[in-house]
Structure 1
Amino acid sequence: MRRADATAVVVTHNSERQIVAALTALRQAQLPVRLVDNASTDATVDLVRRRFPEVTVLVSTTNTGFATAVNRAAAGVDTDVVLLVNPDCVVAPNTVAELVRVIRSRPSVGIVGPRLVDAQGRIAISAHRFESLTTVLASRFGGALVPVGLRRMFSGRQRRAAYDACVSGTEPAAVDWLSGACLAVRTDLFVAIGGLDECYFLYYEDEELCLQAGRRGAEVLYVPAVTAVHTGGASSSDPAWIWPHLYRSMLRFFARHRLGSLRAVRGAVLLRALIGIGLAGIRLPVQPRAGAARLRAWTRVGRIAITPRETRGGA
């Protein structure tokens, strides 16, 4: 891969524990990097400026959300490819080279992503079918209570195919959407779409991007021959912060693209929140801190489920 075939875009928020590994790998890949920091209160910005002076650092005084920060960093990129990389994701040079090669050599392909593994090498399911009421019920509300085999039985042929591509696939596979932890996007396609949709503060912006790419005739391709290590937890592990963003973005996605299922999904989210509140109450005397965090989280999710304006745009 020639230098300047791709530009890496990274968004940080209290990411000092993960960002060194991510940026070291991108330096080894000889990629220009644009980083937007979303109002970190730790030493992320100082660390990056000191250890990686070649990185372009843009600092936001408020947390504007992931999509808005990505769009700010990607504005004016003049390389063929924009590589979106989470600060908790380590992308080896050979993986970068292969993702860029696939995009440059296959005009029909607009977005590609590698196989994602965790720090122990376990494969993550990062290739998916677009969500439906059935998949939401199975994945968001089944959890550990429903065995994987049973969830797969009811998930449909195409969803099973995406799952199998992640677990055992060896050849590139066309899928509906890919996890945004590591995505290579053709720059002209990214610009044509308008970048990431800023109505999603956090989560679902990757699914929306892939959906919009498909509507423009661009293929989304999962490439299992190369990997990236995604450890998770770059910004926050507080469920009272994370879960409301997740479920708000879910409802917004359904309001846009699955309107017929929105009422049922809203009801399912409310039911899940009520169950979560009850379980958190049981947990509270035994684990006060964790129980209180979950109680706050599910209470906020419940409020989102019963508030129609939460399905509209804005953070």
Structure 2
Amino acid sequence: MNGPEATAIVVTYNSSAHIIACLTALRQADAAVQVVDNASCDNTADLVAAHFPEVALRINTANVGFAAAVNQALAGVRTDVVILVNPDCVLPAATAHALLCTVRAQPHVGVAGPRIVGPDGRTAISAHPFETWFSVLASRFGGSLLPTKLRWLLCGGQRRRVYDACLEPGHPTAVDWVSGACLAARTSLLRQLGGLDEGYFMFYEDEELCLQAWRQGAHVVYVPAVTATHVGGASTSDDPSRVWPHLYSSMLRFFARHRRRSYPLVRAIVLLRAVIGIGCAFARLPAHRTTALARVRAWSRVLRLAATARIPLPEGQQSCAS
């Protein structure tokens, strides 16, 4: 071949358990690979350097977040398509090729994502409609707070149709957004957008990317006939007090930017969920002290975050309020 088919960008953070499998698959797919390590405390960077000397490796001295790390690598991309791959995701060569063909063969397609399955082969939901206050309400009060069937009924017809499409292999279909665990994007589109939005430290940068792609007239396509295997959560801390504040901060930022009229309601939902979470965690203290205390800390940080959130809208930002 004359050169790499595409450039894969992998952002790592304490990813030593999965990075070998991830990079092995990407090299088999004939992708140029750029790894940006966000100050891992394990031997992730050493493993990459030792086993994949041909991979471009950048080691940050601090964790700058996912979006900022991707943008660091994007500056050195020389191919027309970029594949974002989580370090705990294995992307088969056939899937990579299908994503590239989808983007290259259809000039109107800017982003394409495969069907994502877990290590057990079960399909994960990786294509979604853009979030609304109602979808936040249903998801944040899910799990033990609402039965699964009731949440399924509450999620709305459009969301159910998209989720049904995730479960069965079929033809490529346009969706609002696809998971950033594995997606292919046109390099020119990413550069036109200025890269990923670094205002999101982690979470929601994929939804933001796809929303901005649609606004530029580029379609987002879900390709359910091909799969990538994703473990999930391998690059996040086990401590919810570190992860959950990032999740809810990104959620509030997304709604402040794009769902302005819904933002106060979403903020109220987050506040209520945090209060309920603290109460449930205290109730578990006698039997599960360590886990319960971690949840108390996590929800307390989320509560403070939502109570003090003042996220200004950028000048000229159009909102698609709902």
Instruction: State the TM-score, normalized to the length of structure 2.
Output: 0.94
2:318 equivalent in structure 1: none
Which residue does the alignment assign to 2:307?
306
State the alpha-carbon separation in 2 of the partners of residues 154 and 16 from structure 1. Answer: 39
CA gap of 1:89–1:299, structure 2 versus 1, over 3 A, is same
User: Who is 1:284 aligned against?
Assistant: 285
| Matched residue type, 1:11 | V
Name structure 2 gaps, 5 residues minimum: 315-322
**1:135 aligned partner:** 135
Which secondary structure does the structure 2 equivalent of 1:309 belong to? coil
Relative to structure 1, is the Cα distance of residues 282 and 83 closer, same or farther in structure 2, using a 3 angstrom cutoff? same
Aligned residue number for residue 150 of structure 2: 150
Contact 1:8 1:82 in 2 (8 A): yes
Contact 1:251 1:311 in 2 (8 A): no
Unaligned stretches of 5+ residues in structure 1: none
Tell me how far apart the structure 2 counterparts of residues 248 and 185 of structure 1 sit (CA, whole Å): 25
Change (3 A) 1:299 1:311: farther
Which of the pair is proportionally richer in helix?
A: 1
Once the 2 structures are TM-superposed, how far is the Cα of residue 90 of structure 1 from its aligned partner? 0.5
Indicate the larger mover: 109-118 or 133-142: 133-142
Aligned counterpart, 2:196? 196
Q: Which amino acid aligns with 1:259?
A: R
Amino acid at match of 1:106: Q
Aligned-pair RMSD on alpha carbons? 1.5
Structure 2 letter corresponding to 1:123? T
Equivalent-residue separation in structure 2 for 1:102 and 1:167 (angstroms)? 20
Compared CA separation, residues 91 and 311, structure 1 to 2 (3 A): farther
What SS does structure 1 have at the residue aligned with 2:112? strand
Aligned AA (2:152): R
Which residues of 2 match residues 169-180 of structure 1 at below 5 A?
169-180=169-180
In the superposition, relative to structure 1, how do residues 265 and 311 fare at CA in structure 2: closer, same or farther (>3 Å)? Answer: farther
Instruction: Name 1:297's counterpart in structure 2.
Output: 298
Give, in whole Å, the separation in 2 of the partners of 1:311 and 1:25: 42
* Identical counterparts, % of pairs: 60
Where do 1:101-250 residues align within 5 Å? 101-235=101-235, 236-250=237-251
Amino acid in the other structure paired with 2:78: D
Whole-angstrom CA distance in 1 between matches of 2:59 and 2:212: 29
Give the SS at the match of 2:123.
Answer: coil
What's the secondary structure of 2:261's corresponding residue? helix
Residues in 2 aligned to 1:149 and 1:281: alpha-carbon distance in whole angstroms: 28
My pick for the range that moved more, 162-171 or 119-128, is: 162-171
1:97-130 Cα deviation digits (max 9, x unpaired): 1000111101111000000000000110010000
- Provide the C-alpha distance between the structure 2 equivalents of 1:238 and 1:112, rounded to a whole number of angstroms: 32
Equivalenced residues, count: 313
- Find the aligned partners of 2:167 and 2:150 in 1 and give their Cα distance: 17
| 8 A contact 1:273–1:302 mirrored in 2 | yes
Alignment TM-score, normalising by the size of structure 1: 0.96
Deviation at 1:5, TM superposition (A): 2.6
